Each structure stands twice: as structure tokens, then as C-alpha cells.
Amino acid sequence: MMGGGEPYTALEESLLSGEAAARRQWEKTYLDVLGVCCSAEVALVERLLAPLDGVRAVSVVVPSRTVVVEHDPAAVSQSRIVKVLNGAGLEASVRAYGSSGVIGRWPSPYIVACGALLLASSFRWLLPPLQWLALGAACAGAPPMLLRGLAAASRLTLDINILMLIAVAGAVALKDYAEAGVIVFLFTTAEWLETLACTKASAGMSSLMSMIPPKAVLAETGEVVNVRDIGVGAVIAVRAGEMVPVDGVVVDGQSEVDERSLTGESYPVPKQPQSEVWAGTLNLDGYIAVRTMALAENSTVAKMESLVEEAQQSKSKTQRLIDSCARYYTPAVVVLGAGVALLPPLLGARDAERWFRLALVLLVSACPCALVLSTPVATFCALLTAARMGVLVKGGDVLESLGEIRAVAFDKTGTITRGEFSVDMFDVVGHKVQMSYLLYWISSIESKSSHPMAAALVEYAQSKSIEPKPECVAQFRILPGEGIYGEIDGKRIYVGNKRVLARGSSCQTVPERMNGLKGVSIGYVICDGDLVGVFSFSDDCRTGAAEAIRELASMGISSVLLTGDSAEAAVHAQQQLGGALEELHSELFPEDKVRLVGALKARAGPTMMVGDGMNDAPALATADVGVSMGISGSAAAMETSHATLMSSDILRVPEAVRLGRRARRTIAVNMVSSIAAKAAVLALAVAWRPVLWAAVLADVGTCLLVVLNSMLLLGEGRGRRGKEEACRATARSLEMRRSQLAAVSPDAAAKSVGKTGGDASKGCHCCHKPSKSPEHSVAIDVRAGEQRESPTAATCAPAKKVEVTGSVNGSAAPASSSGASVGCCPRETDSTEACKKMAPADLVL
């Protein structure tokens, strides 16, 4: 019986322990650990903390001297974690919420005491016994090095502390006490300066963490509650000058909100009922009541913080290569140093002291700290700079790829254009169905879609006093590149472009009225196989789209348009962008975009894809760098992309490429300087005299220079386009205000337009720059039926004709050079008026 009960007891204990683990509450603790200077200490930290009960994960961000511990506070406290790290001399402390680390920290007493004693020993020529103060200086500054070195040795880890201790011991053995003191002082001082520089660089990460206020006010009761206790659907009050605590929708009040913390654009965004607001943004000048849409831990800024943290912890290809080389470099140099110290005397060589000094120089040079730091610190600073300007880059590999981009493929709807559609025309065909029934069916089906065109149709129906009922829709399906399908009131309804017309209707005839429309998106409604309705949309181009493409061209990067709309829509886009695009590809399914992105990679080199919709997700994943349009984009696009624009400013694309190139140059300079410094010291030691303190200075000094050089990336992009960006911001704000006035009072909006000249861009006059007509090739790849045509080139110049194959406005256009003149390169285009309206000739839902 006893033997049968023991397995049962063991099973019961394992089940109880499993239940206890499931009940644990995990939290993250951020610690400033000054003793982490290179990747060698990463293994030490992990070996110290991983065995602790209640610790689930440990991650180390070397450039910012930060250790992130995920643990159960009930099992292991923050003070326990700090005590374990400080027992190894790593100088750990818990970072307070929203603090920026140890900026402004004074030197430690060890450094002060070491420096004072070393200074006093410099007067040994007056009083010889003062030379012993140099030995005292070495002993006074050595304790942190000694603790870290012993902790590393106990876990069979070879790091810079052990190598420096060997160098100090060697100098003492040679009775060169002054050199021993100089080694300790230089090493500890350089470490302190390096820590200050790294902490300064990481201040941006800390500001991300402090965006969300810890408390919020409930609008109904006025009660102040913890932001983490607010559920979805609660209504909170946000007064002027306060930060929005949780993502939500405005239900009462009007104000302007500064969204710079998320988007990098420092202009006020008007908010009114039904406007979305985001956690971490600043309410400027009014009271608003906000109904929450997400929990605090699921807010946009929380996701942004998580992405930046994961990106900083990831390693780029260059960093992985350096780390793998360093793993073999250090032991190899240590073995070489031992050989240099032992073999010459054994072989009867003279001047054994010189060989011993040379061996010590080799040992000091065995630590590749500067080389190991050359990549992660630069990557760290570049990622923070990207996040500050509203671009979330998912890791160092993506950052390096950004610097290699040679071609960019743009989606159109929601990327080049705003994706804010309005219904220009809606007609019933053949009077087979009443308008009210048709709008009810369409709005109910479109309510189940997230596409911006669907939202425009729903709003149009509501403006006609038709309320959609999505719960009445059955068999709802999205037809990628075509439209949508749904069943309601026993009717089978297709809504979409002309591909849907071919799929769902036996009638392929397009009403004559639709043939004359240009610059609009055309959609069709099929009910039980009959064409019963047609409608058209218009959409505006994003401000700065043409300028962004021109900036890419100035960097030697070609730009391509990939759209599911018609050939006419592609040509119309080219006209609105002043002929800036080099290639146009139209009438594409998602698989066509993947095929063309692959072809572009093979032909032009590393390729970026910029898109926002679910249809773009496969192409975003295929590209070397996929960039999604952040808040306005689909969840699928954000998930599959490698980088995310948190704003709608497409000018961030060339800025991100420029930042990637600058980061690659910085990494190259860091690597070359690190290797050159060690090579110079070794050459000096071999050719002239081994100087131990010079080797230490070269090692720690190069580390400091690498950090300072990388910090120059933190200023990248500041002031580059200050005046023009302010002008565009003013134009956007004026345009938003006019759209609000138009919704309330058309007369007031008309007066506003009259005062400013009728164009948002004319609210100021500092950005008007004439641009010359570009003259380069344009290729149009359009889908005709089920066939794929290879891109055909045609010269794009004023009054030139472009060869177009496929269907345009529903009528067949022959593939001949005698097609209609499209004038795709106007003679003169104002930079602020180059994008007024562009829209495809067909609808892609």
C-alpha cells in the first residue's frame, strides 16, 4: 500500500505545483545595471537570475544598461533580484516608473578615491614614499572590478573585468604601481562615462513608458481610479492639459489633441464626438469624454512600447556575426598572450620583462568590447530615433535592410491616397429595385467590412435616413481584389468592381453614363444575377506623396505603383503625382502584387512595399521591408509588416530609408575604429615598447567613442524639414477644421474656403516650389481578363502618348501607340498642389 501511495503523492504534488504556477501573477521589473558593459556580462546576468524561483524570463539590453526581469513578486521580490545582482558587483537598482535611469549620476566613491590617491602619487618625485599611494589607488578603485571578475570566474565566464585584473596584477608584479593605478582609474572612469552616455541614449525609451498617466477620472462619478482598473466601455473625463489614459472614442465635447508622442507630427488634431483618441496623446484646449475601446495594457502606446523593447533585444545579422567571432577571438588572444609570456623565456630569449609586458597588452586587447558594442548601440539609437519620428522598426535586421533599399512599391488606396472616400453618384439601374431597399441591403452588408470604401457607403445610406442592420446579413464573404458578397432578405448581393460584375451578373453592359467618368472609383451592385445599381467614389491624395517619391528618386530609389484598380486609374494617379512614379501596375490581385514584388527584388535589388490593407499583407511579407500605414491600416498589414508608420505622413518613408543608411554608415565607422585602435596598440607594442596603460585607454576609450558616435543618430532628422513641415502641419489643421465646418454648416465652410483661397495648402505660402517635368519611362502592367501582360515601357513626357493595354472605363482599349494622350508629365507642378484628387476608375474592396 505504501509503495502504491508514493506515485500518487508525487502526482498530486506535481499537479499542485502546476496549479500554483498557473495562479502566479507575472510582472516586469526594469533595472539599471551599471556593471553591464558588453555581451560577456549578459551570460553572467542570466546565470545569476535564471535559477531563482519565480523568475520566468530575463532579457538584457546592453546599450542602455537595462535588465528586464519577468517574475512573480510573491515568489521573488525586486529587492531580492537587486541583492543577487549587487552580490556580483553589477551595481543594480530598480528603475522607477517613467524615470530615465541614472542621467546626472556622480562618480562612485571608488572612482573618486582612486583618482585622488593617483593624483597625490604623482608628486612622488618630491617625496618617494608617495609612490605607494599609486598602489593604494589601484586597491581603492578595484573592488567593483574584483566582485564582477570573481562572479564571472565562478561561472566560467571570461570577461573584461578578469582581463583588467590580470593586467593590474601584472603591473604590480613588475613593481610599476603608477601604471596599475592608471589602469584602474582609466577603466572605471571610462565605464562611468560610457554608462552616462548610454543612459542618455535610452532616455527616449523611458519617455515611451511614461506616456500613459497612472490615474484616470470616471466621467459619471468623478472618481479617480487606477488606469489599469478601467474596463472596456467605461467613460472617462479628459480635461485640457491632461494626457489621454486609454484608447477610445470621444462621446462628448470638442478639443484639439497633440498626437506627437505616437505619430511624430507636432500639430493639433481636432477631435469631436465619434473621433478616435489614443493613449499617451495630450488634450490641448478643451474637455472631452472618452469611451474606452481597449484595456490600458492593450493600448496603442503599450503595443508601441512592446515593439520597441522587442526590437532593441533582437540582434541584427552584423551583430550576430560579431558576437560569434568574439566568442572565439577572446580565448584565442588569451592563449596567444600566455604563449608570448612563457615561450620566449623558456627558449632563452633576453628581456623577459618586455615579453611579459607584451603579453599583458595582448590580454587587454583580448576583450572585444568596443567591437561588440559597435552594432547594438548604433541600432539602439536608430530605433529610438525612428520611434520618435513615428516609425516603429521591428528589429536591427529591418534597420539594416532599410539602408539597402533600391526600389519602393506603393499601394494606392489608403497609402498614396487618404482612403477617405465620398460617394459622388449612386443610381439604380433599370428601376428594378427601389433606392431605399438597395441602400438598406448595401449598407447592411458593407457594415461587416472594414474597408474605407465600405464606410463611405454606410455613411451615404445613413445620410438618406437608412439605418443598416448587419445582424440580418448571412453568408458574408470578402472577395479579395473584387468586392464582397452577402445574403439579406433572401437576396444574393454582390458589391464591388467590374470583376464582381463578371462574377455575379449575366449582364456585362455598363451604363453609358459611367463611360464618361474620369478620376473616380466605379462600383456595381448585383442582386440575384442582375445589375441593379452603380455608384462612384472620389478620394484625395495624401499631402506630401509626390514630394516623398521625389525624395526617394533623389536617393537613387525607384518608385512603383501597385493597384487593384484600372489602367485609367493608374494613369490618373501618375498625372496627380506629376509623373513621379517610374512604373504603374494595375488591376492586380493580391497574388499579382506578390509576383511583382518578387520580380522587382530580382531586377532592382532590395525592395520595400508600403501598404495598408489586408490585400497588401502577402506583398508586405514578401518584400525585404514591408511598411504598413499604422493606425489607419489593417491589423493583418501591421502584423505581417517589418515596420509601421504611426501617422499618415508618407514622407516618413524616405526619412526611414535615410535613417537606415546613416545607421549602416555609423556601424561601419564603429567597427573600423574599434579594430584600428587595437591594431595600432599592438603594432606600437611590437615595434617599440609595450605600454599597458595605452592599451587600456585604447580599449575603454574606443568603447566610449563608439557610444558617442552612435548617439549622433539621436539627432538624425531634427530640423531637416522644419519650416516645410510646419507649413504642411498648418495646411492639414486648416483642412481638418474646414471639414468639420462643412459637416456642421456648408455656408461656414464656404466662407472658410473663400478666406484661404479654397485650398488647404494655401493657408500658408512658404511651400510653393515649382518642379520640373520628369522625363523617364513608365511601365503599365494591367490585367485583361485572366491574362498577364509583361510591363511595357513607354516614354513619359509632356504631350506624349502612353501605350495602355486592358480595359479603360469599361471599354476595350487596343494595345497601340495611338492611344489617347494622357499628359502624364505636366510642365509645371506646384509641390503643394501636385496631389489634389486621385482615384481609380474601378473599385477594389
Catalytic residues: 411
Kindly provide the b/e burial profile for residues 625-646, where b requires at least 16 CB atoms within 10 angstroms of the residue's own CB.
bbbbbbbbbbebbbebbbbbbb
| Residues 124/220, Cβ–Cβ less than 8 Å | no
DSSP for 602-671?
A: HHHSSEEEEE-SGGGHHHHHHSSEEEE-GGGS-HHHHHH-SEEESSS-TTHHHHHHHHHHHHHHHHHHHH
How many Å apart are CA 683 and CA 675, to the nearest integer?
12
| Residues 596/573, Cβ–Cβ less than 8 Å | no
DSSP character at residue 472 = G
How many Å apart are CA 48 and CA 31, to the nearest integer?
14
Across the beta sheet with 391-393, what order do the strands follow? Answer: 391-393, 643-645, 625-628, 607-611, 407-410, 558-562, 583-585, 776-781, 792-796
DSSP for 67-114?
A: EEEEE-TTTS-HHHHHHHHHHTT--EEEPPTT---STTPPPPHHHHHH
How many Å apart are CA 457 and CA 450, to the nearest integer?
12
Give the residue among 241, 252, 380, 401 at the shortest CA–CA distance from 317: 401
| Residues 33/191, Cβ–Cβ less than 8 Å | no
How many Å apart are CA 573 and CA 570, to the nearest integer?
5
How many Å apart are CA 607 and CA 603, to the nearest integer?
10
| Backbone φ, ψ for residue 507 (5° rounding) | -95, 120
Residue 569 CB contacts under 8 Å (≥ 6 apart), including other chains: 412, 521, 563, 586, 839, 840, 841, 842
C-alpha grid cell, residue 181? 593605478
DSSP for 123-140?
A: TTTTSGGGHHHHHHHHHH
Give the residue among 616, 608, 275 at the shortest CA–CA distance from 412: 616
| Backbone φ, ψ for residue 691 (5° rounding) | -110, 110
How many Å apart are CA 167 and CA 485, to the nearest integer?
76
Give the residue among 419, 262, 269 at the shortest CA–CA distance from 735: 269
Element (H, E) at 193: helix 177-201
Burial-class residue 841 by CB neighbours within 10 Å (0-12, 13-18, 19+).
Answer: buried
